[in-house]
A and B are shown apart, each in its own frame.
Chain A
């Protein structure tokens, strides 16, 4: 009976796991803010960009919330996660920072963490610390005596100018913005580690500082400056970061925003601030709506003179062969795949070290560079020197990159390697191992085909001919006393 119940329990769990569609977006909150009323514009934007059902979960009510599958944690049970400020210590009974990390380590495990000066969930904090983001503690708030909004006595509702503070200068994540624009901000800030995968987007102004005003009240006799010399501040000036993005090695993205007020309806509605514009771009980036790259196809082969010689069709690559490497890359932007334009994609040809590191050159569609859609290649039988693989069915959207080079004069196991890690874009990785062999004994060029060696060849012929003439003259010349002596001996 006990066994039967156990089985039943397992069965129910399995059904539960299968039933929960991964198209759902999990919104974690604790009821401290009114999400459905105060964040309608943000949620509308989200639904507009992503066809995903929002599932609200109050961490106080959830006893057994799971975000990754039980078996090896290899499957995410939700498409995306948005975490609103959580004032309590925990994150539900079962959910831990380790779960968040596992979610993020699975492919497409995108998480957006919206923080605030009142949030203090240790689990979220530990998760962020592991990425290298150190948000200020509960009650700590960003202040600025120069950039505050008129009428704000505490100087903690800030109007932050974009110029000088937007760190995404090449507009990789945040699209074009006007330099004169401001954004409205009120909340916490974070210190950052030197993790290479972090992409700071917005820093605080130079005149800002993050401290706990409640502590200051106790020492109200002292002035700000003296207080700030003490250890009671979290960070000063543009050490503070307000928006931070992160992308791990499996291209899952995490973004952190220091304030829930930043995306509230009240902020969105103020037309003189650019909150909505910046947050929409961040939203699109975090949940994979922009800057997602894809390799559509990879192909490499010897140049036609070599490849289509029927004798060499089954051949391997040999040293000093001329080869062509083609790569198709497309980018997901605005809901569709478009050609990805760049001049910094590099191809490495490596055996332990790169023997070549070449820029892949973007090629126009009507170019004479050979590709799998060329008629002479389409009839070619795949073999060891002709590799062509499509990774997506539709390659019409991909940008065609190509490199032509002569293989090094070194035999061994080489690989064609494209390892493209551009900050703000999803990373591309492709490696294909090939064997590069030496020349066979009959593949070297003959001396007789080299004009210079004709001198030596004729010298040898002259030498042997001269020797024969000499020998004949030597043996058959008479009137020598030597020969008479030898005849005597015989």
Chain B
């Protein structure tokens, strides 16, 4: 995800700078240029991202699950800010559970993705999934015991 978005953002920056240099003195024109560039780069990023997912729907599944985990972690974090950290161990187990599952799922995505096939040569997709399940079960076990 990130390696793809970064070049786009880097590319958009010189255009902003040049626009600022060209239309010197007019702030509104700089802002409108900047917003236009930014929106176009974001749109580009997302279209590229969804284009890559077309070929592998499983990656879409992984990403959806990751988004779900991020939301889960964010909700807990907001709650601890609002309601105080009294059952701190319960918060820690809930939050670390979400974060840990997210990290494990991202690892699965890296090992599973076609783009990284040559980087994980010794690791087959089955091995990756097996590792993922095993590590997740350990995580769930620890999280359960950390509640109390």
Q: Please report the number of residue pairs spanning A and B whose Cβ atoms sit closer than 8 angstroms.
A: 97
Q: Are B72's CB and A462's CB within 8 A?
A: yes
- Of all chain B residues, the one with the shortest Cβ separation from A471 is B133
A218 interface residue, CB < 8 Å from B?
A: no
Q: Which of A209-217, A328-336, A399-407, A473-481 contacts B (4 or more CB under 8 A)?
A: A473-481
Q: A447-B90, A455-B94, A467-B136 are in contact. Are A480 and B56 (CB under 8 A)?
A: yes
| B3-11, B20-28, B30-38, B75-83 - the one binding chain A | B75-83
- Which residue in chain A gives the minimum CB-CB distance to B117? A485
Write the chain A residue with the least CB distance to B68. A466
Question: Could you mark each residue 437-461 of chain A with 1 if its beta carbon is under 8 Å from any beta carbon of chain B, else 0?
Answer: 0000000101100101101110110
Could you give, for residues 59-88 of chain B, a 1 whenever the CB lies within 8 Å of some chain A CB and a 0 otherwise? Answer: 001100100110010011001000110110
Name the one of B61, B69, B91, B124 contacting A489, with C-beta atoms under 8 angstroms: B124
Q: A447-B148, A456-B90 are in contact. Are A482 and B97 (CB under 8 A)?
A: no
In whole angstroms, what is the CA distance A479 to B61 when docked? 13
When C-beta atoms are compared, the residue in chain A nearest to B73 turns out to be: A459
Q: How far is the CA of A470 from the CA of B64 in the complex (A)?
A: 9
Is B86 within 8 A of A452, CB to CB?
Answer: yes
Beta-carbon nearest neighbor of B86 in chain A? A452
Contact check, B125 vs A460: say whether CB atoms are below 8 A apart. no
Residues on A with C-beta less than 8 A from B84 are: 452
Please tell me if A486 contacts chain B, counting CB pairs below 8 Å: yes
Residues of B within 8 A of A363 (CB): none
Tell whether, in the assembled complex, residue A486 and residue B124 are in contact, meaning their CB atoms are under 8 Å apart: yes
- Is B129 part of the contact surface with A, judged by Cβ < 8 Å? yes
Please indicate the chain B residues that have their CB under 8 angstroms from the CB of A475 in the complex.
129
How near does chain B come to A227, taking the closest CB pair, in angstroms? 81
Q: Tell me the dominant secondary structure on chain B's binding face.
A: helix
Given contacts A452-B87, A460-B144, A463-B97, contact A482 B112 (CB under 8 A): yes
Q: Which residues of B sit under 8 angstroms from A467, Cβ to Cβ?
A: 65, 101, 136, 140
Q: In the assembled complex, how far is the CB of residue B76 from the closest CB belonging to chain A, in whole angstroms?
A: 5
A450→B129 contact, CB < 8 A: no
Residue of A nearest to B124 (CB): A489
Q: Which listed residue, B79, B114, B143, touches A460 by the CB 8 Å rule?
A: B143
Bound together, the chains give a CA A460 to CA B94 distance in angstroms of 5
Q: Contact string, B131-148, partner A, CB cutoff 8 A, digits 1/0? A: 001001000100110011
Q: State which size class the interface on A falls in.
A: 20 to 34
What residues on A are CB-neighbors of B143 within 8 Å? 460
| Residue among A463, A473, A489 facing the most chain B CB atoms (10 A cut-off) | A463
B42 smallest CB distance to A (angstroms): 27
Given known A-B contacts A473-B61, A480-B57, A459 and B97 have beta carbons under 8 A apart = yes
A342 at interface by CB-CB < 8 Å: no
Query: A463 near B101 (CB under 8 angstroms)?
Result: yes
Among A452, A453, A464, A477, the residue within 8 A (CB) of B140 is: A464
CB distance from A296 to the nearest CB of B (A): 45
Answer whether A480 and B140 are a contact pair too, CB < 8 Å, given A455-B94, A466-B65: no
Give 29 A-B contacts (CB < 8 Å), ordered by A residue. A447-B147, A447-B148, A452-B83, A452-B90, A453-B90, A453-B147, A455-B75, A455-B79, A455-B83, A456-B147, A459-B72, A459-B98, A460-B144, A462-B72, A463-B72, A463-B97, A467-B101, A467-B136, A470-B61, A471-B133, A474-B58, A475-B129, A477-B57, A480-B58, A482-B125, A485-B125, A486-B124, A486-B126, A489-B126
B residues neighboring A (CB under 8 Å): 55-58, 61-62, 65, 68-69, 72, 75-76, 79, 83-84, 86-87, 89-91, 93-95, 97-98, 101, 105, 112, 114, 124-126, 129, 133, 136, 140, 143-144, 147-148
The 10 tightest CB contacts between A and B, nearest first, are: A456-B94, A453-B90, A453-B87, A456-B90, A459-B94, A470-B65, A447-B90, A450-B87, A486-B125, A447-B147
Other A-B pairs beyond A447-B87, A459-B98, A467-B65, 8, CB < 8 Å: A453-B86, A453-B87, A453-B147, A455-B79, A459-B76, A460-B144, A467-B140, A489-B124
